[in-house]
Amino acid sequence: MAGGLIALLDDVAAIAKLAAASVDDVGVAAARAGTKAAGVVIDDAAVTPGYVVGLAPARELPIIAKIAVGSLRNKLIILLPAALLLSALAPWAITPILMLGGAFLCYEGAEKLLHKLTGDKHTDDAAAIADPAELEARQVSGAIRTDLILSAEIMAIALAELPQQSLWMQGVVLAVVGIAITVAVYGAVALIVKMDDVGLHLVRSGRGVALGRGLLAAMPVLLKLLAWIGTAAMLWVGGGIIVHGLAGFGLAGPEHVIHDAAVAIGGGVGAIEWLVTALGSGLLGLVVGFIVVGALKLLPGKRGH
């Protein structure tokens, strides 16, 4: 009896150690996968504040909450099962799908850059909506659609970092990455969009007037800066995905050129090497984006747009 009890306790201890190791593995894998998706996360955080600009301040946080819930639904209910199905049945398709997503990001970044440089602005149908509830529903729906594309890239990038993991581990890690990124992105967005309210409160209360005025002055600049950062992130992330994808198919020339330039210019300084790598990926992404923009303009019905 005593021997059996000791053996049972040993088994329990072994299971506990295995569970602890699994938790550690999930944490490490999630951190690695999440880091690889950082560029798309920056883009996501930079794009979202634009959806609440011009709406009633009292509705900003509820709108962000709705978008965050929609983002979680995108990641956990739509994209997570699709990613696991893809991993189980057609893992070879992950890289081509990533590259297509990367090309789309390059297209979006190049188109936004063209609009910024030429001053050309799309007419916004949302601006013509008089009903606040309808406008809010329109903005939330648009934000969730955009999030679906960015979330698909995040999940695909994360999945590509887990080729040797079991299917259940991939599912757990993708869920952890999806939840953590959603909380981080929309928490940051909530802070950004309420910055002017905090500044206004400080000014009106008479406490921290200088800080409050600084926040009020910084908000428009920050929104413009985020728009540029979002555009740059689209190009460098999209370009980087294409560069790595080409290397996976045996066309490693662009990757080697960018890596060699980063090493030569950076001289062992990690931050400089990263910056050069991002710049190289961004330039390639810009070329790809312009090609896609040009190709789309040649399609029937697109000329003259």
181, 36 contact by CB (below 8 A): no
CA dist 71 and 77 (Å) reads 10
pLDDT at residue 140 tops 90: no
Residue 18's pLDDT is 42
pLDDT of residue 20: 41
Distance in angstroms (rounded) separating the CA atoms of residues 52 and 61: 9
CB 177 within 8 A of CB 37: yes
One-letter amino acid for residue 215 of the chain? L
> Mutual orientation of helices 167-193 and 209-248 as an angle, nearest 10°?
150
Tell me, what's the pLDDT at 11? 47
Q: What is the pLDDT of residues 60-81, one digit of tens each?
A: 788 888 888 998 999 899 989 9
Distance CA 213, CA 224 (A): 18
pLDDT band at 224 (very low <50, low <70, confident <90, very high): confident
* pLDDT recorded at residue 45: 65
* Alpha carbons 232 and 189: distance in angstroms, whole number: 18
Euclidean distance between CA atoms 170 and 75, whole angstroms: 14
> How does pLDDT run across 249-283, given as a tens digit for each residue?
888 888 999 989 998 998 878 888 888 988 999 99
The average pLDDT across 153-157 equals 77
> What residues does each domain of the chain span?
24-226
Residue where the block lists tokens 């309210």:
197
- Which comes out higher in pLDDT, residue 6 or 132? 132
Contact yes or no for 96/173 (Cβ under 8 A): no
- The predicted model gives 25-41 an average pLDDT of 55
| Position 269, amino acid | V
Q: What is the mean pLDDT of residues 181-199?
A: 82
Residue with the two structure tokens 């696991």: 84
Per-residue confidence (pLDDT) for residue 228, from 0 to 100: 82
Look up residue 10 and give its amino acid. Answer: D
Nearest to 87 by CA among 175, 176, 163: 163
pLDDT mean across residues, the chain: 76
Confidence of residue 30 (pLDDT cuts 50, 70, 90): low
Token readout for 203 is 């000014």
What does the pLDDT read at residue 88?
83
